[in-house]
Structure 1
């Protein structure tokens, strides 16, 4: 592959994708709104670009084969705050990809697109959208955008509904954890699979307590290796009894299902910032 583009390269997940993506192409163009992203890997260039600008996305995606779209405002917030990067940004990615003749968009979607479904429902990739926040609504929008551009313009897309890609610090994460190694494998399979059309896959590791059914995405060849059960004894010993009436405990979206619209979901979580440094 000649050229790949990665958005959200300055983010925590993007930091782990940069190096492996350079090994899949002649040129990786990493983008974000940060002034820089540290030392670049061999074959990587950096272009500061705003997702809310179609002109910026047109320039970044020119000559690319595919784009791995991880950029976004990565939390719940007022609708107006998410409008530019998450809603308009998604449109700009798909429109720029279509105009530039890209084959595929690999998109960092989220469990929050279906976050209000009860955890007692073993949901698959065809369950109806049921967002838990404006953030989740933006993921629904991008998934439907991908479906539309596949049906109307033949632009493929793989939508990775990530459950929780961070260190395991809660009982919920015993089921929802996606390790960085499994994230990398998922992105690689989403790029390498010869034909995807419009596809949805859950981004989750091989956890004993996995709460979703990923079987309909098996054609991607994604076979996660890691299992959060290794953390279970310590996590459960440190976890007090959970309130069964709290949607943060009973819904797939976890804490995002419990917050008021527009309020941060991450503020109630113990996310460890282990961004990979270069």
Structure 2
């Protein structure tokens, strides 16, 4: 294809997508709030821009065949901050894509759109939202907007409910929720190259024996995850205390995000837990 726009290109996940996406298009336009990016591909350009700036998104997305939208606050935060980057940012991307005739948006949604469901419930892609934070609520908004723009304008969207994207598995929760970086790249590549997607919601998980989600509807993409968190199970479980069934942080799909007060960083909460504070 001619042009792909990647938002959130300086982020932990967006940064891993730059090289694979550059191989799929004549031009990759990467954007984020960083001043610059190192290691640009020969066909990659970088533009510093705020997804909350409507004019900037309108200019960037002009001529794009697809947008891979990973640009947002990746954590719980005060509502006003989430409103700008996650709610308004998503609207600006969809509005610009529709105005310019972009074919498809691949969106970094999150399990936190469903975070208050108990882990004893295997969640599907067609169950009602049940967000755990303002952050999760922003993902619900963008998914519903994606559905509306598909129904109204035929703008395709693949919403990837990413669970726990990381390197090696770090904790017991990730034995079910892990998404390896290699499987993340495969999932995004398949979302870009699939001939037809319409509006789709897909769970971003690897081929885990303990996966708590039903991802059967991802098969049409050709997504076949290769990694399995069970490879880490013996080591992880040997050092994991018995779970407390009264602790929503252990019993809900959203993990610690199910317990933090609204507006308080879930990432910092997890860090304090890991440090024993």
Q: TM-score range by the shorter chain?
A: over 0.9
Residues 244-278 of structure 1 deviation map (CA, whole Å, 9 limit, x = unaligned): 1011111111111111111111113259xxxxxxx
2:95 alignment counterpart: 95
Rounded Cα–Cα distance in structure 1 between residues aligned with 2:154 and 2:208: 35
CA displacement at 1:196 relative to structure 2: 0.8
1:116 counterpart = 2:116: yes
1:246 alignment counterpart: 247
2:139 alignment counterpart: 139
Unaligned ranges ≥5, structure 1: 272-278
- Contact 1:174–1:232 (Cα < 8 Å) also in 2: yes
After superposition, residues 123-202 of structure 1 pair within 5 angstroms as 123-167=123-167, 168-202=169-203
1:15 alignment counterpart: 15
Rounded Cα–Cα distance in structure 2 between residues aligned with 1:123 and 1:56: 37
- Contact 1:169–1:270 (Cα < 8 Å) also in 2: no
Rounded Cα–Cα distance in structure 1 between residues aligned with 2:12 and 2:239: 26
Rounded Cα–Cα distance in structure 2 between residues aligned with 1:109 and 1:121: 20
CA displacement at 1:39 relative to structure 2: 2.2
Determine which structure has greater relative contact order: mean sequence separation of CA pairs < 8 Å that are 6+ residues apart, divided by chain length: 1
Rounded Cα–Cα distance in structure 1 between residues aligned with 2:120 and 2:126: 16
1:76 alignment counterpart: 76
Match of 2:67, SS?
strand
TM-score normalised by the chain length of structure 1: 0.96
CA displacement at 1:231 relative to structure 2: 1.1
CA displacement at 1:217 relative to structure 2: 2.4
Unaligned ranges ≥5, structure 2: 273-277
CA displacement at 1:122 relative to structure 2: 0.8
Please identify, of 215-224 and 146-155, the stretch whose mean Cα deviation from structure 2 is larger: 215-224
Residues 18-52 of structure 1 deviation map (CA, whole Å, 9 limit, x = unaligned): 00001100100000011012121121110111101
TM-score normalised by the chain length of structure 2: 0.96
Match of 1:106, SS?
strand
Rounded Cα–Cα distance in structure 2 between residues aligned with 1:158 and 1:187: 9
Rounded Cα–Cα distance in structure 2 between residues aligned with 1:36 and 1:259: 33
1:46 alignment counterpart: 46
- Contact 1:61–1:97 (Cα < 8 Å) also in 2: yes
